[in-house]
Structure 1
Amino acid sequence: MNKHRLAGVLTVALTLPLISGTAAADNTYRADSDTGIEALDYIENEHRAERENRLTEEQKKLLADAKALEKNLNHPFDPKKEAVPAVFEGEELVYDERDGSFTAKGKVDILQMDARRYQGELVTGNTKRQEVDIPDKAHILQVPKNEMRITLDGYKAHYNYGKKTGSIEDATGKVGAHYITGKRFEFYPDKIVVYNGTETKCGAKKPDYHLSADKLTYYPQQKIVLENVRFHVRGKTLFTRKHYEVDTSPDKKDHVFPRVGYNSDDGAYIRWDLSFPVRPNLNVNTNLHVNTKDGWRSNYDLTWQNRGMKTGVTYGHFEDGDSKWIKKEPSVFWNYSDHIGKSHFIYGLGTEYGRWYGNGVHSNHSEYGASLGYDPIKFHRYTLYLKTGYSITRESYDDSRVNGWSYDAVMTKDFNDRWAAYAGYHYNKKNQSNTLFDYDNDGYSKKLEGGFSYRIDDINRVAVGTKYDLDHRKWKNIDYYWYHDLHCSQIIVRYKSKTNQISLRWQFTPW
């Protein structure tokens, strides 16, 4: 028998399951603002994404060990001709050269050169059939380049690393930015399927909120599909759905759970944005909003979207950053944007027509516009945003027509992890003095915006946002913000000093 009993290290070619894709953080922490301070929120959310994707000490060690393994290879590695090299370590190792079977016992550590690690007290398998079994407790860690990071602890792990398929039972851990548990995980080259599982982005031992479902399917960088799903907050089930999909693509941000708050204009309120897929690229969106002053202030839309085009019909109440409202009864819209060839220039076309109600009047409102912008220009931690546009607005109520240009130039400075600032100039021919509705319009055409933010510590940040009316040469807004992070949610307090108004919003960690 050509069976060898070893104590120490066994090096073989091994490839275990991987899932393509990278975790993307959601940039949806933001302040209600009409001072342009969302530019600072964008910077802060980039910092938040960096902190969320920061490597743990265990992941750093895995990368270092994988790099050392690559350096110590005694032959060039060709991924097209051979499996990824790996090192087995254990207190007792047995390998049969004839059939490729192996057994490893006692603090077994399997390290792959492509930054994957598998640990257990007993590991068996076969290198020719490309199989690995960890029948008892298993720890799985993978940080491959440009692929989803996975950290799982479970039982009865089995992998066919040739087909890149496998399973593990009674597991808990993290997949990308999502904390998950499940009775059974199944791995495939393009997805992960979890049965009887839970899902959340809240890392607390007892998360403030989570989803549970009979079946969860992860398509990295695309979506999560849940069957027979239940939505839980603080241990209470809010509601259930037979089928639910969460878009996890980098440019999509879903508010799976509600936001609650208070401000001087609306009183206490609750907002909840929900999306219901009808067909591919076609969704019904319900943006629920109820407050103690006005009651039901929600809006709904049926929207078709594909690549740069978006069109649909919408109905309901809409609020801008200065607490001005409009009701659309209903309104249809169409928008399209794309780069000009392979250049950095971006053009946009858009139109909207519908029955609007606001300022005590009804009107058939129509608006047409075109815009031209440029990709953000970055240099020395500065970022410059440039955009111009031309629009035509008509109202049936007073037979009015407003047409003219708009110009926007904003500069941000990301000094470091604590300090950030912004300044911007804006011009828009359309304003409250020449249009029928105040919604989404200032009382002047030219304005300056500026402000800064400072992160005090890991859970507290303060900011100031200002707006200056250049037409009448006076300050319109000087607003102060305090952001306070709880372990799975955030509180945002805003004080508008010019009008002595205060607002408070509480929202869960966004998806």
Structure 2
Amino acid sequence: MKSTKKILSGLIVTALILPVAGTASAATYHSDSDTSLGLLDYLENEHRAARANKPNPEKQQLAADTAEMAKHLRYPIDPTKAAPVSFEGDDLTWNQATGDFTAKGKVKVTQLDQHRFEGENIDGNTIEERIHIPGKGHVLQFTPGQTEVMLDGFETNYNYKMKTGSMENAKGKVADNYMTGKKFEFYPDKIVIYDGTKTKCSAIHPDYNLFARKIEIYPNDKMVMHNVKFKIKGATFLSKESYTVDLKKDTTVSDWFPRIGYDKTNGLWIRQNLKQPIAKNVDANAKIVYTTKKDWRNEFNAGWANAGSYARVTYGYFDDSDDNWIKKEPSLLWGYNTRLGNTHFHYGINGEYGRWKQGTVKSNHKMYSLGLGYDPIIVGGWKLHLSTSYEITRESYNDAHYNGFNYDATFTKDFDDRWSGYGAYRYQKNNRENSPFDFDNDSYSRKIEAGFSYRIDDNNRVAFGTKYDVDDQTWKKFDYYWFHDMHCSQLILHYEGHDNTWKVKWRFLPM
């Protein structure tokens, strides 16, 4: 049988299902400004999510083609059998007696559940239930409920009854990961990749990737990488014997990625985050930081969190947005945060007890707080957030102690696709006049903060934030930001106008 027409059949080829990893979204961005500019962090996170989930023309075309296929079916689909398949090419041949088939030219083999093979030449056998692409092949999987796959490779073999096969020298996209491999092997319960790479960078020559001698992908469960190396521009910076990614959670391999930056206080710095699950709801973390002006500034912690409750022990150095450092040696943090029944209110009980050190000041630090907040209120297109808390702090240094209420009222609004703004009024009892530590506080209690963000284009955004001392009626902060995306990394320039200082950060995307 020869034909140049499209052939629709429910018997020729059964389902091709590639069992691959689940998706994971990019990690979120957090502002380092203390002018409340963090209220607009959602703009950066939405931009990253939109970039990661931009429309896929191949996915749209395959959906349209399978919808057209469904119109021509002569009988209802039997869910216990393979989905119908169509063949489309310049020259199609099928021997009904032997089951052998060949397809030449621009060949497309499309399955109704949104699988597709493409190649210049495809052959196989319907009785033996196998397909073969001797040259370059292209595989798509956009089946609802399964992970999206787009792969280009060579010498593709697949047995669609056993759901096993292989592809040589392949590369493409698996979920939101760009992957390559000397060989892909497909099994009903996993994919195995040999001499493979994984990255979130979409460039032809990625700025960074993870290379592994062997990668095992278990669908909607985990990805296990063996003999792993983290590479930047082809140079190896870190290595591990094995590395496991939990595909059921919002995780990335961003913990491998160092952050690099410069500021006046610390000089040039580099930071590396490490995380290790220990048991259910328990993990250990390390933040390794080296600065040219302050040497090492590491921090280690381990803790438990579940259903709004948490407890964590931490030891090491911490810095605030003004680059003031404090050492906790160690400190216990605990708390419980949840919604109040079915109301719009949510509350939290939090505390900290530990040994704090800053310069010559050493103190046993105790802090307890009870907070109450309300869901956002829409007022004239603005989102209003209201919250309050009562905080008690005790310091063994000079028997310092202070307690009182804190109040917060913040507004945010998107004026259009480019402009967004915010405003905030805050009262904070804890300040430098009653605390022995110059850390994460101001010299005044009442403050007004405001700012805006403007997106210039897809790769550039500028933002401005300011802080006003209500008691002394003086401006205390002017923060200017420029965010510049460089296809797989981001450069952030931060100018503090009041202090006339610059900060520069460079980080991989996504974070």
CA distance in 2, matches of 1:31, 1:436: 26
Residue equivalent to 1:324: 324
For residues 194-216 of structure 1, give each alpha carbon's deviation from its aligned partner in whole angstroms, at most 9, with x where no partner exists: 22111111222222211101122
The Cα shift of 1:292 comes to 1.7
Contact 1:17 1:187 in 2 (8 A): no
Structure 1: which 5+ residue stretches go unaligned? none
Q: How does 1:444-459 map to 2 (within 5 A)?
A: 444-459=444-459
Other structure's SS at 1:43 match = helix
The Cα shift of 1:403 comes to 3.1
CA distance in 2, matches of 1:180, 1:189: 20
Residue equivalent to 1:55: 55
CA distance in 1, matches of 2:71, 2:386: 47
For residues 391-440 of structure 1, give each alpha carbon's deviation from its aligned partner in whole angstroms, at most 9, with x where no partner exists: 33222223333333333343332344422222223333323233332322
Which letter maps to 1:464? F
CA distance in 1, matches of 2:367, 2:46: 34
Residue equivalent to 2:116: 117
TM-score when scaled to structure 2?
Answer: 0.88
Contact 2:366 2:394 in 1 (8 A): yes
Residue equivalent to 1:259: 259
Percent identity of equivalent pairs: 47
Q: Does 1:423 align with 2:423?
A: yes
Residue equivalent to 1:11: 8
Residue equivalent to 1:507: 507
Contact 1:17 1:188 in 2 (8 A): no
Return closer, same or farther for 1:372/1:82 CA change in 2, 3 Å cut-off: farther
The Cα shift of 1:279 comes to 4.1
Contact 1:20 1:189 in 2 (8 A): no
CA distance in 1, matches of 2:189, 2:242: 21
Residue equivalent to 1:292: 292
Return closer, same or farther for 1:393/1:72 CA change in 2, 3 Å cut-off: farther
Which letter maps to 1:122? N
CA distance in 2, matches of 1:218, 1:274: 22
CA distance in 1, matches of 2:337, 2:127: 52
CA distance in 2, matches of 1:211, 1:91: 41
CA distance in 1, matches of 2:439, 2:251: 26
Contact 2:21 2:247 in 1 (8 A): no
The Cα shift of 1:315 comes to 0.9
The Cα shift of 1:286 comes to 1.5
Return closer, same or farther for 1:211/1:252 CA change in 2, 3 Å cut-off: closer
Return closer, same or farther for 1:427/1:150 CA change in 2, 3 Å cut-off: farther
CA distance in 2, matches of 1:381, 1:27: 28
Q: How does 1:11-160 map to 2 (within 5 A)?
A: 11-13=8-10, 14-19=14-19, 23-77=23-77, 80-95=79-94, 102-125=101-124, 131-160=130-159
CA distance in 2, matches of 1:294, 1:313: 24
Contact 2:454 2:461 in 1 (8 A): yes
Q: Which moved more, 1:449-458 or 1:182-191?
A: 182-191
Contact 1:6 1:92 in 2 (8 A): yes
Residue equivalent to 2:241: 242
For residues 348-372 of structure 1, give each alpha carbon's deviation from its aligned partner in whole angstroms, at most 9, with x where no partner exists: 3333221111253111112233434
Which letter maps to 2:455? R
CA distance in 2, matches of 1:100, 1:296: 69
For residues 116-160 of structure 1, give each alpha carbon's deviation from its aligned partner in whole angstroms, at most 9, with x where no partner exists: 321123334455776444343220123334543221101233445
Which letter maps to 2:70? E
For residues 293-326 of structure 1, give each alpha carbon's deviation from its aligned partner in whole angstroms, at most 9, with x where no partner exists: 2111111112334454433321110011121211
CA distance in 2, matches of 1:437, 1:351: 18
Q: Does 1:311 align with 2:285?
A: no
Q: Which moved more, 1:152-161 or 1:340-349?
A: 340-349
Structure 2: which 5+ residue stretches go unaligned? none
Contact 1:24 1:49 in 2 (8 A): no
CA distance in 1, matches of 2:255, 2:6: 49
Return closer, same or farther for 1:130/1:428 CA change in 2, 3 Å cut-off: farther
Residue equivalent to 1:333: 333
Which letter maps to 1:268? L
CA distance in 1, matches of 2:384, 2:34: 19
Equivalent residues, number: 507
Other structure's SS at 2:487 match = coil
Contact 1:27 1:42 in 2 (8 A): no
Return closer, same or farther for 1:35/1:191 CA change in 2, 3 Å cut-off: farther
Contact 2:17 2:115 in 1 (8 A): no
Residue equivalent to 1:404: 404
Contact 2:48 2:510 in 1 (8 A): no
Return closer, same or farther for 1:332/1:119 CA change in 2, 3 Å cut-off: same
Residue equivalent to 1:210: 209
Residue equivalent to 1:366: 366
The Cα shift of 1:187 comes to 4.1
CA distance in 1, matches of 2:321, 2:232: 28
For residues 267-289 of structure 1, give each alpha carbon's deviation from its aligned partner in whole angstroms, at most 9, with x where no partner exists: 11111112234445433312111
Which letter maps to 1:11? L
Which letter maps to 1:478? F
Residue equivalent to 1:413: 413
CA distance in 2, matches of 1:386, 1:191: 49
Return closer, same or farther for 1:135/1:432 CA change in 2, 3 Å cut-off: same
Q: Which moved more, 1:34-43 or 1:403-412?
A: 403-412
Other structure's SS at 1:456 match = strand
Contact 1:17 1:165 in 2 (8 A): no
Residue equivalent to 1:302: 302
Q: Which moved more, 1:67-76 or 1:446-455?
A: 67-76
Residue equivalent to 2:393: 393
Contact 1:17 1:160 in 2 (8 A): no
CA distance in 2, matches of 1:232, 1:415: 42
Q: Which moved more, 1:421-430 or 1:367-376?
A: 367-376
Contact 1:22 1:146 in 2 (8 A): no
